[in-house]
Amino acid sequence: MNPTQQLHDLGQSIWLDNITRGILDDGTLAKYIAEDNVTGLTSNPSIFDKAMAGGSNYDSAIADLLAHGQQGEELFFSLALQDLTRAADLFKPAYHHSDGLDGFVSLEVSPLLADDTQATIESAAALHAKARRDNLFIKIPGTPAGIPAIEESIYRGVPINVTLLFSREQYLAAAEAWMRGIERRIADGKNPQVDSVASVFISRWDVAVADRVPAGMKDRLGIAIAQRTYKAYRDLRATPRWKKILAAGAHPQRLLWASTGTKDPKAPDTLYVEALAAPDTINTIPDKTLLAFADHGRLRGAMARDGGECETVIVEFKAHGIDDAALAGQLQRDGAAKFVKAWHELLDRIDQKSAALAPRAAGQGARA
């Protein structure tokens, strides 16, 4: 049996951490869906930047959008939605088969809005309305400014992928925002089915401490943090408050593992996929990791619901000077800064492409 089928049977969804026009046009994404049990995908500015740098797949669309007066961020979101709505349509069978729990794609609000709660709320609503797809998440970072934007967006009926979470505490804050938004909808007589996932980043923990701990401790902290968070997730799902929300008709917010490609060249290329196998969760993985796991991955059972030995492992790292609470905050701030950098690089690439394609766009505009 394909290892991806084993994960599916365990109760974990596999999403692709990638989107390009190329994999839509050449059937690669459809193949992943048919053969590797991929039931959703995520995107971010870096992914789109790499996609546009990879050739001329976007040139015709850019020229057309330029001819219609679009540029900069507006042009990018139009391009991104062209890809993501096509992908969302491919995942519609998974969406319907799961009664709306699976089959999603994700689009991120501008990282430049990370500290502006109100602008994030407005952007999330506008992007979701423009997409016109029920199975499209808007990504909002679970930062201090993002948490109230998540609650309000959920209340307004916008499906949210909470991104940039790095710890149990950050996850619980995101879950609390989702619950408050749903509870407000219930209190006001609104439909409580506003879907959400909470994305916890894993491998960046191990990258951050790789040079600070002995070789035998490498590639262990991220998994321990995931185990601790999974226990909190399972505990929360068992609370009367959570059960009351679901009894009212809401879908559960699901836990999603992100940043699960192996960064350490000495570690197994399927390390995080195998370690993070857990029911009622999602793992979003890059193409290379997906293909590696499908080829030679081994499922060794499900993650322990009680966290296993995670606290013992975290204590070991504390003994080597690793303050996990402080590092979680730093990783979130660094992650937000990386998204801003990637956003500027993406807009610079669009500007360069736009300048090169301006004559072509002018010709299209004249013919129109």
pTM value?
A: 0.96
β strands within 249-312, DSSP E: 254-258, 281-285
pLDDT in the model for residue 53: 85
What residue spans define the domains of the chain?
Answer: 3-8+12-367
3-state class (DSSP) for residue 313? helix
Q: What is the DSSP letter of 113?
A: G
Helix axes 221-237, 310-319, angle to 10 degrees: 140
pLDDT tens for the chain, 368 residues long, are: 789 999 999 999 999 999 999 999 999 999 999 999 999 999 998 999 988 887 889 999 999 999 999 999 999 999 999 999 999 999 999 999 999 999 999 999 999 999 999 999 999 999 999 999 999 999 999 999 999 999 999 999 999 999 999 999 999 999 999 999 999 999 999 999 999 999 999 999 999 999 999 999 999 999 999 999 999 999 999 999 999 999 999 999 999 999 999 999 999 999 999 999 999 999 999 999 999 999 999 998 999 999 999 999 999 999 999 999 999 999 999 999 999 999 999 999 999 999 999 887 776 655 55
CATH number of 3-8+12-367: 3.20.20.70
Query: Which two structure tokens, joined as six digits, stand for 125?
Result: 């609503």
Q: Max alpha carbon distance in the chain (Å)?
A: 70
pLDDT in the model for residue 364: 65
Residues 3, 1: Cα–Cα separation, whole Å:
6
Instruction: For residue 31, indicate whether it is catalytic.
Output: no
Distances (CA, A) of 154 to 53, 146, 195, 233, 331: 34, 12, 8, 19, 25
Which of 130, 139, 244, 263 is the catalytic position? Answer: 139
